[in-house]
């Protein structure tokens, strides 16, 4: 779509806006494809459209912004770049505290001659503006086909205004609020959380609870992981509260698809701000890890994935097991031929059941001993073997499996059902972790 330029520009035949204010609104809708691929066949899914409110321009009047100190440094820098003053207040104080950003803003508005406080939490212009503009835009952009609106909620102005405009045109439209865990809007007990711009510890006057048909409560961890997915998979650089909204949108898409009601539905999700505001937070692995929001690869990957992914010689069977009756010389030849360092030993000549595993041999141990006593190579494996390797279910995580290795054992036998599925050595762990970047939890 093209943006609508100011009238004077249209009359002149050229396409430009008279001022940056003429470019507020008319943000585009973009279809989301990849993020919902796992939620069922595409032809049974609702159409999911994201409204890129993040593309609205910022800046304008001389301003003093009073904000909580949990807000990202990018936001503070951005406001200062526009020439605004920024006053930071502590996040974790009650709204009525004289230190809270609500109280400080009120005081500044009172004390500075001619000051005007937009008062986003109580000023009805906030929901009214969305009722006049954003809501009708969504109606027109979807040709009235929108059936569900999903928005993360802070002041409530966005969801209240859009919902009023849409429900006036079609009362059956469902409105879904997305709220951080720890916000009272969806009825949770107030406690600190890291997602910025959404959730509250009080009910703002700009939010009308009657417009919300359903709430989805979203943790910081899920919101940030989803924001990163929106960026990587859809190419839309998304902030944390976009993640909150998208988690809820996916829930809605999943439920509609499973109920067989996806075909006709059009879900619009609001994406409020850009991930550029959170490069030092949501998009900074160190910050994410320091806040326990980025799981290590070991905590999210299963031993079975390591087995499936590791690079091995093409002719190497998944598990090689020596028999107690094999000659040590033959077992050493097998270790060398396949380039492996450990073999479980079975007393079971017929099958490879886990119960038959009675010992293990290692290349290093055998070679050292054979060097000192060459007659060893003619003896049986059963005579010289070491204790059995610890067994671990292939379904456990690498972290759980690695804990067993810290006991001093050089390797583990991964097990599926009553069969060994593979031998995993310390080196396998190291190689796997070195080549896999950490992924969001």
Ligand X SMILES: Cc1ncc(COP(=O)(O)O)c(C=O)c1O
User: Which residues bind to ligand X, rule: CB under 6 A?
Assistant: 152-159, 196-198, 239, 241, 272-273
| Residue nearer to ligand X on the CB measure, 129 or 433 | 129
Query: Nearest distance from residue 34's CB to ligand X, in Å?
Result: 22
| Residue nearer to ligand X on the CB measure, 203 or 427 | 203
Distance of CA 270 to the CA centre of its chain: 17
Query: Nearest distance from residue 316's CB to ligand X, in Å?
Result: 52
Query: Nearest distance from residue 423's CB to ligand X, in Å?
Result: 50
| Residue closest to ligand X (Cβ) | 197
Query: Nearest distance from residue 173's CB to ligand X, in Å?
Result: 18
| Residue nearer to ligand X on the CB measure, 129 or 377 | 129
Query: Nearest distance from residue 54's CB to ligand X, in Å?
Result: 9
Q: Is the dihedral of CA 371, 377, 379, 382 positive or negative?
A: positive
Which among 426, 379, 376 has a CA at the least distance from the CA of 404?
A: 426
| Residue nearer to ligand X on the CB measure, 241 or 425 | 241
Query: Nearest distance from residue 241's CB to ligand X, in Å?
Result: 3
Which among 268, 269, 265 has a CA at the least distance from the CA of 44?
A: 265
Could you tell me the end-to-end alpha-carbon distance of the chain, in angstroms, rounded to an integer?
36
| Residue nearer to ligand X on the CB measure, 46 or 154 | 154
Query: Nearest distance from residue 196's CB to ligand X, in Å?
Result: 6
| Residue nearer to ligand X on the CB measure, 226 or 307 | 226
| Residue nearer to ligand X on the CB measure, 157 or 298 | 157
Alpha carbon distance 88, 99 (integer Å): 10
CB distance 307 to 394 below 8 Å? yes
| Residue nearer to ligand X on the CB measure, 180 or 298 | 180
Q: Please, what is the Cα angle at 249 between 247 and 251, to 5 degrees? A: 75
| Residue nearer to ligand X on the CB measure, 154 or 262 | 154
Task: Report how far apart, in Å, the C-alpha atoms of 4 and of each of 1, 8, 27 are.
Answer: 9, 11, 10
| Residue nearer to ligand X on the CB measure, 55 or 299 | 55
Alpha carbon distance 135, 150 (integer Å): 12
Query: Nearest distance from residue 400's CB to ligand X, in Å?
Result: 37
Query: Nearest distance from residue 286's CB to ligand X, in Å?
Result: 22
CB distance 166 to 146 below 8 Å? yes
Query: Nearest distance from residue 338's CB to ligand X, in Å?
Result: 56
Q: Is the dihedral of CA 343, 349, 352, 358 positive or negative?
A: negative
């Amino acid at each position: 779509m093209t943006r609508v330029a100011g009238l004077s520009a249209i009359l002149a035949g050229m396409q430009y806006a008279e001022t940056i204010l003429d470019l507020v609104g008319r943000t585009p809708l973009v279809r989301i494809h990849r993020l919902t691929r796992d939620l069922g066949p595409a032809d049974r899914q609702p159409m999911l459209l994201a409204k890129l409110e993040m593309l609205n321009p910022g800046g304008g009047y001389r301003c003093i912004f009073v904000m909580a100190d949990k807000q990202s440094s990018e936001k503070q820098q951005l406001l200062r770049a526009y020439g605004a003053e920024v006053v930071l207040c502590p996040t974790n104080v009650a709204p009525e505290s004289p230190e809270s950003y609500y109280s400080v803003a009120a005081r500044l508005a009172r004390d500075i001659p001619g000051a005007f406080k937009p008062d986003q939490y109580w000023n009805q212009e906030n929901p009214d503006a969305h009722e006049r503009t954003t809501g009708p835009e969504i109606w027109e952009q979807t040709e009235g086909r929108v059936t569900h609106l999903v928005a993360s909620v802070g002041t409530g102005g966005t969801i209240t205004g859009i919902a009023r405009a849409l429900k006036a045109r079609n009362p059956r439209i469902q409105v879904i609020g997305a709220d951080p865990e720890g916000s009272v809007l969806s009825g949770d007990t107030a406690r600190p959380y890291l997602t910025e711009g959404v959730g509250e510890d009080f009910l703002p006057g700009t939010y009308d609870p009657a417009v919300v048909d359903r709430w989805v409560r979203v943790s910081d961890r899920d919101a940030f992981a989803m924001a990163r997915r929106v960026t990587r998979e859809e190419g839309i650089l998304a902030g944390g509260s976009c993640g909150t909204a998208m988690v809820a949108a996916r829930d809605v898409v999943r439920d509609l698809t499973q109920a067989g009601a996806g075909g006709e539905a059009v879900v619009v999700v609001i994406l409020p701000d850009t991930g550029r505001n959170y490069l030092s937070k949501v998009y900074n692995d160190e910050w994410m890890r320091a806040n326990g929001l980025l799981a290590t690869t070991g905590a999210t990957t299963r031993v079975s994935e390591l087995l499936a992914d590791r690079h091995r010689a093409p002719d190497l069977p998944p598990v090689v097991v020596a028999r107690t009756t094999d000659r040590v010389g033959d077992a050493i030849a097998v270790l060398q031929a396949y380039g492996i360092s450990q073999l479980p030993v079975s007393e079971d000549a017929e099958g490879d059941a886990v119960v038959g595993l009675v010992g293990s041999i290692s290349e290093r141990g055998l070679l050292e001993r054979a060097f000192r006593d060459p007659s060893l190579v003619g003896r049986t494996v059963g005579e010289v073997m070491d204790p059995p390797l610890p067994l671990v279910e292939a379904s456990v995580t690498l972290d759980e499996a690695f804990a067993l290795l810290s006991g001093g054992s050089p390797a583990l036998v991964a097990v599926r059902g009553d069969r060994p599925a593979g031998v995993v050595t310390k080196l396998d762990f190291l190689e796997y972790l070195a080549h896999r970047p950490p992924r969001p939890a």
